[in-house]
Amino acid sequence: MDGRSSALTKLGIGVLACNSAIAIYNSWGNAGSVAFVLAADAAILLLFHCLREFERAGRERGKNIKVAAWLLTTMLTVMFASRVAPLMPPVVSMVVWAMSVATAAGGFWALFLSP
């Protein structure tokens, strides 16, 4: 790779920016919601960066990048579950959290434990 972003990556980031701007506009006055959108955007952009670096990295450096990618995806999973679960009935809320834990554990297994 020569350091340039693909058109699809640029399109994805553009859609993310537009969607985030609309979400912030609709949430204006609710500092928690605005902070959530900004934190999620930062994590997603860092994840894009990690994935791009992972493609370029060798084996040793790739291990550190996998850790960062897993932490970011786990953080995003927990962030979204923490917003969705309170809106659900208690049983469904428990299912949302169980799926979040299963997703994080499955990602850990796939990235670090599987052959």
Domain ranges in the chain are 7-113
Rounded to two decimals, the pTM is: 0.83
Instruction: Reply yes or no on whether the pLDDT at 33 is more than 50.
Output: yes
Q: How far is CA 57 from CA 33, 35, 62, 79, in A?
A: 35, 32, 5, 28
Residue with tokens 């579950």: 81
Q: Please tell me which residue, 22 or 1, carries the higher pLDDT value.
A: 22
Q: What is the mean pLDDT of residues 4-32?
A: 91
Mean pLDDT (the chain, rounded): 91
Q: Specify the pLDDT at position 9.
A: 85
pLDDT band at 57 (very low <50, low <70, confident <90, very high): confident
